[in-house]
Structure 1
Amino acid sequence: MPAPDAISCEQLTRLLGTPKSPTLLDVRREAVRANDPRQLPGARVLAEHELAPDPLAALARDLAGPVVVVCAEGHRLSQGTAAWLRHEGVQAEYLLGGQAAWAASGLPLVDPGKITARDGRGRSLWVTRSRPKIDRIACSWLIRRFIDPRAVFLFVAPGEVQGVAERFCAMPYDIEDVFWSHRGDLCTFDVLLSEFGLSTPALDRLATIVRGADTARPDLAPECAGLLAASLGLSRMYSDDLAQLEAGMALYDAFYRWARDATDEAHNWPTKAGKAK
């Protein structure tokens, strides 16, 4: 029977990518991480010197919501860290079987080496064109939900993206002639999925919808036209790009949950139960 302060890979999988996803803390030893630098999607690395009472107490003050601690195999590092965080008033669990169990289940792991720009707090830095519509909001949602929940996004004039990226050491995305951008028929959203190894049935389905809406190919999926309409509506509701991003997060949360859990569900009216006899 699982311990009351533990969470299984299956349980965690259902939470990842949703607003209810816990903060993931990767506490594997540096030697173990050097052997396999991949991490659970969205995990935040804690160095060995941070796994002590005082640093953990300071960390606890900055944590909001539940936490899942991940070590190599779910033993003393993750269990001890989770116990300290609970002592500090944080709702914390450890991952049963650790990263080894996650990998053995064939669940996605991301390569943090793909992130080439971080600030002093360890947050990834991204910059793109202002007035986002579809792909730029979709990419930002994917980064926040599956790559780095603390990511910082800068929206600037199109002609300033490269200059701002250089000046503030940020990663430019969804503009021409940069690494994180369209490739052939693929959108930047597709490229992020591929480069970070995040291919799952739900995310692949969502990628098709984003691609169709973003590149005027509504034939790719029936939902493309709906995403286009909702995205253009949001762009006219918000003049502030960060406010629009926050609204867009809810939009993509809904599309993701549909893609993961509800593609077989249909609705019609009147139902048989409502028909007059």
Structure 2
Amino acid sequence: MSPSYAVSPQDLWNAIATYDAPQIIDVRRRDLYEASPHLLPGATWCDLANFAHRLPDLDRERPIVFFCKAGHDLSQRAAAELRADGYDAHILAGGYDAWTAAGLPLVDKAALDRIAPTRPSVWVTRRRPKIDRVACPWLIRRFLDPQARILFVDPDEVLAVARESGAIPFDVPDVELSHVGERCSFDTMLALFRLESDAHLHRLALIVRGADTARADLAPEAAGLHAVSLGLSALAGDDDHGLLARGFVIYDALFAWLRFAAGERHNWPAKAAA
């Protein structure tokens, strides 16, 4: 991410789901936040009046980007105060208005508030994840709620745990966030939260669906994702959260390839033969 005080909307979008991904803090006034139909992907809203209570939740090792409506006093005040305390804090140039004007992806706020009214949110699904149950947590943590907790339980206990704990069930029968026809749970989440409009996430969904539903014809990369996912599962054994951590690297890499390197070709052996 750019080391400058102000980060452009495009540079911030390019940093999401990368090793340099910042913590994104929405400091719009409460009335503007509540009236807004959208959220920036991966952003957490915070009332500046209570910001001191949030400081223990921030990772000092990662950059922080604040944004308000137009990049003026609220975000600049928050960034200035943290920079004075040694944090790597920045503002989003032009704020929320500049992000929307650039046509960058947004999360449907009403859908997220309905599904996860309390954040950090808790989600629950079946143990021993392989493809869809790694892709969905990746989408949740990278774009919906960076601090979300993911619970893995026996398949026949998912709904009971959801009822008792208030966790959001996914990728099990008879729940909203699951397979719909030929589409998998990752597709369902992308559509619900209005993220499928991003061409790269849309293409990633084809790869996930192809790997998860034995449709390698949907994308050339689907067979590779299927093989790597099953290999990770075999290595992880019963360590679901260890597998999740390793799996996130795979999805970060796939998303980075789609955005930054899909046009790159490696053909050195062919050149050597010629």
| TM-score, L = length of structure 1 | 0.91
**Aligned mates of 2:264, 2:210 — CA distance in 1:** 22
Alpha carbons of structure 1 residues 215 and 60: separation in structure 2 relative to 1, 3 Å: closer
Pair 1:83-2:69 in alignment: no
Structure 2 SS opposite 1:184? coil
Structure 2 SS opposite 1:270? helix
**Aligned mates of 2:256, 2:58 — CA distance in 1:** 31
Deviations 1:110-163 (A, max 9, x none): 1344343466xx311100000011111011111111111111000000000001
* Paired position in structure 2 for 1:260: 259
* Paired position in structure 2 for 1:42: 42
Q: Which residue identity lines up with residue 177 of structure 2 in the other structure?
A: W
Query: 2:128·2:240 contact (CA, 8 Å) conserved in 1?
Result: yes
* Paired position in structure 1 for 2:68: 71
**Aligned mates of 2:58, 2:200 — CA distance in 1:** 34
**Aligned mates of 2:50, 2:89 — CA distance in 1:** 16
Runs (5+) with no aligned partner, structure 2: none
Aligned-pair CA distance for 1:94? 0.5
- Could you tell me the percent identity over the aligned residues? 48
Aligned-pair CA distance for 1:104? 0.9
Pair 1:150-2:134 in alignment: no
Alpha carbons of structure 1 residues 207 and 60: separation in structure 2 relative to 1, 3 Å: closer
Runs (5+) with no aligned partner, structure 1: none
Deviates more, 1:154-163 or 1:87-96: 87-96
**Aligned mates of 1:157, 1:84 — CA distance in 2:** 46
* Paired position in structure 2 for 1:6: 6
Alpha carbons of structure 1 residues 13 and 96: separation in structure 2 relative to 1, 3 Å: same
* Paired position in structure 1 for 2:224: 226
Q: Which residue identity lines up with residue 233 of structure 2 in the other structure?
A: S
Q: How does 1:98-247 map to 2 (within 5 A)?
A: 98-115=95-112, 116-117=115-116, 122-199=119-196, 200-239=198-237, 240-247=239-246
Pair 1:92-2:96 in alignment: no
**Aligned mates of 1:269, 1:76 — CA distance in 2:** 53
Deviations 1:197-252 (A, max 9, x none): 11211111110010011111111111111010000001100020000000101111
**Aligned mates of 1:246, 1:34 — CA distance in 2:** 33
**Aligned mates of 1:146, 1:213 — CA distance in 2:** 22
Query: 2:36·2:109 contact (CA, 8 Å) conserved in 1?
Result: no
Q: CA RMSD for the aligned pairs?
A: 2.0
The total of aligned residue pairs comes to: 269
Deviations 1:54-102 (A, max 9, x none): 446x347655410000100000000000011112221000011100110
* Paired position in structure 2 for 1:28: 28
Q: Which residue identity lines up with residue 141 of structure 1 in the other structure?
A: W
Alpha carbons of structure 1 residues 207 and 28: separation in structure 2 relative to 1, 3 Å: same
Structure 1 SS opposite 2:269? coil
| TM-score, L = length of structure 2 | 0.92
Alpha carbons of structure 1 residues 71 and 153: separation in structure 2 relative to 1, 3 Å: same
**Aligned mates of 1:37, 1:27 — CA distance in 2:** 16
Query: 1:18·1:145 contact (CA, 8 Å) conserved in 2?
Result: no
Alpha carbons of structure 1 residues 138 and 77: separation in structure 2 relative to 1, 3 Å: same
Q: Which residue identity lines up with residue 251 of structure 1 in the other structure?
A: I
**Aligned mates of 1:197, 1:96 — CA distance in 2:** 24
Structure 2 SS opposite 1:181? coil
Alpha carbons of structure 1 residues 89 and 241: separation in structure 2 relative to 1, 3 Å: same
Q: Which residue identity lines up with residue 254 of structure 2 in the other structure?
A: F
Query: 2:41·2:105 contact (CA, 8 Å) conserved in 1?
Result: yes
Query: 1:39·1:109 contact (CA, 8 Å) conserved in 2?
Result: yes
Q: Which residue identity lines up with residue 199 of structure 2 in the other structure?
A: P
* Paired position in structure 1 for 2:19: 19
